[in-house]
Amino acid sequence: MADNSSHTTTAPWANPPNRSSRHLLRKIMPWLIIISVVALIVAGLWPKPIPVETGEVSRSSLTVTVLEEGKTRIRHRYIVAVPVAGTMKRVTLRPGDVVKARETVITRIEPAASPLLDPRARQQAEAAVSLQVAASQRTQEMLKAAKLAWQRADAELQRINAEKTAGILSQSERERIEADAAIKAAEVRAIEFEGQIREFELAQARAVLSRPAAQLAENLVEVKAPVSGVVLRVMQESEMIANAGQEILEIGDPADIEVEAEILSRDAVTIRPGADAQIEQWGAGTALAGKVRRIEPAAFTKVSSLGVEEQRVMVLIDLIKPPDEAKTLGDRFRVEARIATWHANDVLVVPSSGLFRENNAWKTYRVIAGIAHKTDVEIGQSDGRKSEVISGLNAGEQVLLHPPDAVKDQSRVVEK
C-alpha cells in the first residue's frame, strides 16, 4: 500500500500558479504609481473654471434719466409789507396759522409820535410862531387900509352915478373912477386871502410845538391778509417803528406744491418741457409722478461740496395727482428728482455691469459653452443699469457681470 501523505492534495478546479504574471505585475507596479502621482499633480495644477455671474442680452424698453437733489416749494407766495410808516403793533400769528383773505388782521399801524424838540429847535419853532403872529397882524392892518381906500373909491363912483354929470366929466375921467373902484375892491379881496394864508401858516408853526395824541381810532391802519392760506414765515414779530414797504410775513397755500431741481447745464439741455419725472426720497417708499413745467433760460454758478464751480439750471416740476400721504410735504422739503431725457420701447440692451472700457472702447465677455470670449461692442444710451447695444451682441447671449481680474479671453468659467 502506497504512502500518499507526502503529496499535496489540490482541488481539480484550482489554477496552477502563474509565475510570469506575478513577475509582470511587480515590474509595472512602480510605473503605475508614478503615473498616478503625475496625474494627481497635473490635476492639481490644471486651471479650474472661474466662478462668475452672468446676465442675458435681451430686448426691452429703456429710459435714460437725470437724478438730482431738489426741494419742494409753494408755487404762489405772498409777502405782506407795511403799507405806511408808523408804529407797527406786535404780530401774534405764527408759522402754520391759517389766514383768510380780507378778514384776518395781521397787525395794526399807528402814526408815529411827534419827535421831541431840542432847545435850539424849540427856540426856532417859537420864533416861527411869533413871526407868523406878526405877519398876521400886519395883514389885518393892510386889510383895514385897503377897505378904507375901496370905500372912498366906491363912494366917488356912487356920487358920479347919482348926479347929473353929463357934459361935466369926460368919458375918460368916468372910466378912470370906475376902474379905480374895481381895483380897490380887488385889493381888499387879495388881502383877505393873504390873511387866511397867514392863519394857516400860524397854525402850522404852532403844530411844530405841539405833540398831538397819535393813538386815536381814526388814525389806526389795519393790515389784513391779501389771500387765504397759511403763514409760512414771520419776518418781523415785535412791535417797532416800521417804514413803508418793510416785510412783515409770508403767506402761501401748502396744497399748491411744486418741485425745483438744480440740474447741471450739460444735462438740462437734454430736458424738454412735459418730460416725465419721478420724485423720490420724499419720505415714503413710492415715487411721486410729475411733469416738467419749465426749464429756466439762465444758469447760475454753484460751488459743489468738493469745491468745484458748476453751472446749474433751475427746472420746475409739477406733481400729478399726489396721494393723500404726500399732503404732509411742506415748503423747502428735500427730495430727489429723476427726470426722463430719452426713452425707447424696444431696444437691445445689456446689463451695464457686464461692460468695461479698454483702449477707449467698450468690451464685454460673452460666455459660450463655459468659455469667456472678449468681444467689442458699440454702446448707445444708458440708464446706469442697462445700456443700449448698437452692435456686437445678439439677443439671448450671456455675458459676464462684474468680470473679475482673473478672467481673460478664452478663460473657462462656471456659473456661481
Asked if the domains at 51-62+346-415 and 65-74+254-343 fall in one CATH topology, the answer is: no
pLDDT at 34 over 90: no
Q: Which three cell numbers stand for residue 103?
A: 378778514
Note the pLDDT of residue 135.
87
Residue 14's pLDDT band (cuts 50, 70, 90): low
User: 308 is written with which cell numbers?
Assistant: 468745484
pLDDT tens-place string over residues 257-300: 999 999 999 999 999 999 999 999 998 878 999 999 999 999 99
Cell of 149: 381906500
Nearby residues of 91 by Cβ (< 8 Å), 6 or more positions away: 106, 107, 234, 236, 237, 248, 249
What are the tens digits of pLDDT across the range 349-394? Answer: 999 999 999 988 999 999 998 899 999 999 999 988 999 999 999 9
174: confidence class by pLDDT, cuts 50, 70, 90: confident
* Class of residue 16 by CB neighbours under 10 A (exposed 0-12, middle 13-18, buried 19+): exposed
Residue 151: strand, helix, or coil: helix
Mean of pLDDT values over 59-67: 93
Nearest partner of 386 among 63, 107, 129, judged by Cα: 63
Query: By C-alpha distance, which of 222, 228, 233 is closest to 106?
Result: 222
Angle at the Cα of 303 from the Cα atoms of 298 and 308, rounded to 5 degrees: 115
DSSP H or E stretch at residue 117: none
pTM as predicted: 0.62
Q: Is the pLDDT of residue 7 over 70?
A: no
- Between the alpha carbon of residue 238 and those of residues 62, 96, 243, the distances in Å are 57, 18, 14
- 351, 399 contact by CB (below 8 A): yes
pLDDT for the residue 284: 83
Give residue-wise pLDDT tens across range 236-254: 999 998 999 999 999 998 8
Give pLDDT, residue 6. 45
Decide if 317 contacts 295 (C-beta within 8 A): no
pLDDT given for residue 167 in this prediction: 52
Q: Is 30 within 8 Å of 392 (Cβ atoms)? A: no
Residue pair 277/292 in contact by the 8 Å Cβ criterion:
yes
Which of 8-22, 141-155, 211-225 is predicted with the least confidence, judged by mean pLDDT?
8-22
Q: In CATH, what class is 51-62+346-415?
A: mainly beta
In the chain, the percentage of residues whose pLDDT exceeds 90 is 48
Give CA–CA dist 355/359, Å, rounded: 13
| Residue 8 confidence class, pLDDT cut points 50, 70, 90 | very low
Nearest-10 crossing angle of helices 119-162, 171-209: 160
- Ranges of H-type helices in 269-386: none
Q: CA–CA distance from 372 to each of 43, 49, 375, 386 (Å)?
A: 21, 10, 9, 21
DSSP 7: S
Predicted confidence (pLDDT) per residue in 192-205, tens digit: 888 888 888 888 88
Residue 1, pLDDT > 50, answer no
- Please, what is the average pLDDT of the chain? 86
Would you kindly state where each structural domain of the chain is located, as residue ranges? Answer: 51-62+346-415, 65-74+254-343, 77-111+219-252, 119-209
Helix (H) or strand (E) holding 16: none
The two beta strands, 86-88 and 361-368, are: unpaired
Name beta bridge partners: 263. 313
Q: pLDDT digits over 86-126, tens only? A: 889 999 999 999 999 999 999 999 887 777 778 888 888 88
CATH of region 77-111+219-252, choose from 3.40.50.2030, 2.40.50.40, 2.40.50.100, 3.40.190.10:
2.40.50.100
pLDDT confidence bin for 160, thresholds 50/70/90: confident
* CATH code of domain 65-74+254-343: 2.40.30.170
From residue 325, give the alpha-carbon distance in Å to each of 93, 130, 172, 286, 329: 27, 76, 101, 11, 8
The answer to whether 225 and 80 are in contact (CB under 8 A) is yes
Quote the CA–CA distance of 350 and 362 in Å, as a whole number. Answer: 12
Mean pLDDT for the stretch of residues 147-166:
78
- pLDDT at residue 391, rounded to an integer: 93
Q: Give the separation between CA 315 and CA 70, rounded to whole angstroms.
A: 9
Query: Is the pLDDT score of 3 beyond 70?
Result: no
